[in-house]
């Protein structure tokens, strides 16, 4: 028997939610793994068609399920299109940010002001890196094939955005389950810490002083 209902709660980061069944007035659990369609992600208010089966604990769940109208499917396609625009915008902005960041670092090196601008660079890089993680997370949710390269995310973490990257991994539940990425991220933090420690050391300060003399 086919049932109809409306999504009343959906956790896209976890891949599950609850649908209110019109026929029996029950709120039923459903999971993305039981999706019987081909594309799309549900959202609050979407209309679903589903069967009612039992989970391992013997509780009623909505499975398998699919979208019950074209509007929901079209909404999913619109999400994918918007995600495509957002990810392209993120790629363009990331290029400009890298250029501006490099110019700022070079200017600070030449004028011996790098230690003074480091906190500002860390804040800006962290905010931007968090935004990149959010854009890539949205693209992953929408099922869009065009994603930000992992090397790009790691690069922005390396130049000082790792606090923002760490926060994004925790809050957005993005890139924290892939062991190889987490291992590389650990080396990125270590490399950044060693670089900053050297720049603030007497040897690093002497290097910055020589750079300032050359600029003068």
Q: How far apart are CA 16 and CA 13, in angstroms?
A: 8
- Pair 151, 49: CB distance under 8 Å: no
Q: What CATH number did the domain enclosing 21 receive?
A: 2.40.50.140
Q: How far apart are CA 26 and CA 144, in angstroms?
A: 33
Indicate the residue among 68, 87, 112 that finishes a domain. 68
Instruction: Summarize pLDDT for 66-91 with one digit per residue, the tens.
Output: 888 654 555 555 555 554 446 666 66
Instruction: Summarize pLDDT for 204-213 with one digit per residue, the tens.
Output: 778 767 766 6
Mean pLDDT confidence for 31-57: 86
Per-chain mean pLDDT for the chain: 81
Q: Which domain holds residue 36?
A: 3-68
Residues 17 and 89 in one domain: no
Q: How far apart are CA 97 and CA 138, in angstroms?
A: 21
Q: What is the pTM of this model?
A: 0.54
Residues 127 and 38 in one domain: no
Residues 64 and 82 in one domain: no
* pLDDT of res. 43: 84
């Amino acid at each position: 028997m086919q049932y109809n209902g409306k999504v009343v709660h959906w956790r896209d980061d976890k891949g599950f939610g609850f649908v209110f069944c019109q026929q029996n007035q029950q709120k039923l659990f459903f999971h993305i793994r039981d999706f019987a369609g081909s594309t799309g992600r549900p959202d609050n208010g979407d209309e679903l068609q589903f069967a009612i089966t039992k989970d391992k604990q013997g509780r009623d769940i909505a499975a398998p399920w699919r979208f019950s109208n074209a509007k929901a499917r079209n909404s999913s396609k619109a999400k994918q299109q918007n995600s495509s625009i957002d990810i392209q915008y993120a790629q363009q902005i990331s290029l400009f940010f890298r250029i501006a960041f490099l110019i700022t670092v070079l200017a600070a090196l030449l004028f011996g002001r790098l230690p003074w601008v480091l906190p500002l660079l860390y804040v800006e890089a962290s905010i931007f890196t968090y935004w990149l993680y959010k854009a890539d997370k949205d693209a992953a949710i929408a099922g869009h094939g065009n994603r930000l390269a992992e090397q790009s995310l790691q690069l922005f973490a390396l130049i000082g955005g790792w606090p923002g990257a760490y926060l994004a991994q925790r809050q957005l539940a993005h890139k924290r389950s892939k062991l190889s990425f987490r291992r590389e991220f650990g080396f990125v933090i270590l490399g950044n810490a060693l670089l900053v420690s050297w720049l603030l050391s007497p040897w690093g300060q002497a290097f910055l002083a020589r750079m300032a003399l050359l600029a003068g």
